[in-house]
């Protein structure tokens, strides 16, 4: 288990909350899974006081974070993400990694969380005391998709996890968020009706550092092979990866546990190379600046979430903008004035 459990913090949910960011850090570092869980809940608390404490805690975690490999996994629903993670998990554990699995799910606001929400989809991993699994925190109203997940990642690292797996579904904005928090971004794709890949959103394919083609098993085996060949052929048309990695296309069958170990070996090797070359560090620096901008945007969310009146105004203005009754610029000016005034109160 990651970190020794401090019995002061793990007697149950009825215990009182830590009174300082330093006490929260202690909980993250030595409170085991229950401690980590509670700290992640602190991140998700929308009250202003909790947010200030959370920000201070995240800053205290900095010296203890950053030592993990961060792996993003995306794919449309039905591509086999959960099955793949369930199959790949043991290979990572065999390599000695302590593994945390997080999720970004922008649909969770509507559905209550469609990925990882049902842990039974990763039955074996979720029973494993070495593996920390945490469903998605809901995204806010304005921007900030994935912000809480990125914060949770830092807490996991400070808690001793050295492989963070971030799962997301293929809906555009969440991919950008996950792509911006991981060292390697993996797309799990399945063959479509023809020789194309099924239902991938525009732009996702070009973000992928590795493409795993799933369902390379009867009856889709031939289609999967054709899709892989076509894709490899097309990849040289794609621009060079800014961090110097060559995107790879691998075939696998999550259902039959074929090609899984090879994919884990490949992903680990790419990650370790990126770490050794300095490409990982450069990417993380760029990502930190991205999240700074996102966090600035996230400040709005808190105000919107806390203030029903401002939130209603945001929705009204958005509707007016969408129907071209008001220019986006005037609407922004008006909302900004209300945001500032609400924040000043």
340 sits near a second copy (criterion: CB under 8 A): yes
By CB under 8 A, name the one of 121, 225, 241, 311 that touches a second copy: 241
Burial class (CB within 10 angstroms; exposed 0-12, middle 13-18, buried 19+) of 311: middle
By CB under 8 A, name the one of 109, 124, 293, 312 that touches a second copy: 293
By CB under 8 A, name the one of 292, 308, 309, 345 that touches a second copy: 292
When the beta carbons of 2 and 304 are compared against a second copy, the nearer one is 304
CB of 128 closer than 8 Å to CB of 101: no
Least spacing, CB of residue 214 vs a second copy, in Å? 17
245 sits near a second copy (criterion: CB under 8 A): no
289 sits near a second copy (criterion: CB under 8 A): yes
When the beta carbons of 21 and 32 are compared against a second copy, the nearer one is 21
315 sits near a second copy (criterion: CB under 8 A): no
255 sits near a second copy (criterion: CB under 8 A): no
Least spacing, CB of residue 24 vs a second copy, in Å? 14
Q: Secondary structure of the chain: what % helix, strand, coil (to 5)?
A: 55, 10, 35
329 sits near a second copy (criterion: CB under 8 A): yes
Applying the rule CB under 8 A, the residues between 174 and 233 that interact with a second copy are 194, 196-197, 199-207, 230-231, 233
By CB under 8 A, name the one of 77, 242, 244, 278 that touches a second copy: 242
Q: Could you tell me which residues come within 8 angstroms of residue 115 by beta carbon, excluding any fewer than 6 positions away?
A: 81, 82, 103, 105, 135, 136, 167, 168, 169
141 sits near a second copy (criterion: CB under 8 A): no
CA angle in degrees (0–180, nearest 5) for 129-130-132? 85
What HEC string does 79-97 produce? CCHHHHHHHHHHHHHHCCC
Sheet holding 131-133, edge to edge: 131-133, 99-104, 163-168, 69-74, 184-189, 210-213, 248-251
When the beta carbons of 93 and 332 are compared against a second copy, the nearer one is 332
């Amino acid at each position: 288990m990651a970190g020794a459990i401090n019995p002061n913090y793990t007697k149950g949910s009825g215990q009182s909350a830590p009174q300082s960011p330093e006490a929260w850090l202690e909980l993250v570092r030595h409170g085991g899974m229950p401690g980590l869980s509670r700290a992640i809940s602190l991140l998700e608390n929308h009250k202003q006081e909790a947010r200030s404490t959370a920000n201070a805690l995240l800053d205290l975690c900095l010296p203890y974070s950053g030592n993990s490999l961060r792996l993003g996994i995306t794919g449309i629903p039905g591509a086999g993400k959960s099955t793949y993670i369930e199959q790949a998990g043991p290979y990572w554990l065999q390599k000695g990694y302590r593994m945390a699995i997080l999720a970004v799910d922008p649909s969770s606001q509507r559905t209550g969380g469609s990925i990882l929400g049902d842990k039974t989809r990763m039955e074996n991993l979720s029973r494993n005391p070495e593996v920390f699994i945490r469903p998605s925190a809901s995204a806010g109203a304005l921007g900030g998709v994935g912000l809480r997940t990125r914060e949770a990642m830092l807490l996991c690292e400070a808690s001793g996890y050295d492989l963070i797996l971030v799962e997301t579904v293929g809906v555009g904005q969440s991919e950008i968020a996950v792509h911006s928090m991981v060292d390697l971004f993996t797309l799990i794709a399945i063959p479509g009706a023809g020789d194309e890949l099924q239902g991938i959103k525009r732009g996702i394919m070009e973000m992928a550092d590795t493409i795993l083609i799933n369902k390379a098993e009867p009856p889709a085996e031939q289609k999967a092979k054709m899709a892989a060949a076509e894709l490899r052929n097309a990849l040289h048309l794609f621009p060079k990866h800014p961090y110097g990695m060559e995107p790879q296309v691998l075939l696998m069958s999550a259902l039959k546990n074929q090609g899984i170990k090879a994919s884990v070996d490949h992903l680990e090797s790419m990650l370790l190379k990126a770490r050794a070359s300095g490409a990982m560090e450069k990417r993380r620096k760029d990502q930190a600046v991205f999240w700074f901008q996102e966090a600035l945007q996230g400040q709005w969310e808190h105000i919107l979430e806390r203030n029903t009146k401002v939130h209603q105004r945001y929705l009204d203005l958005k509707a007016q903008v969408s129907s071209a009754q008001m220019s986006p610029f005037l609407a922004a000016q008006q909302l900004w004035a209300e945001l500032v005034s609400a924040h000043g109160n």
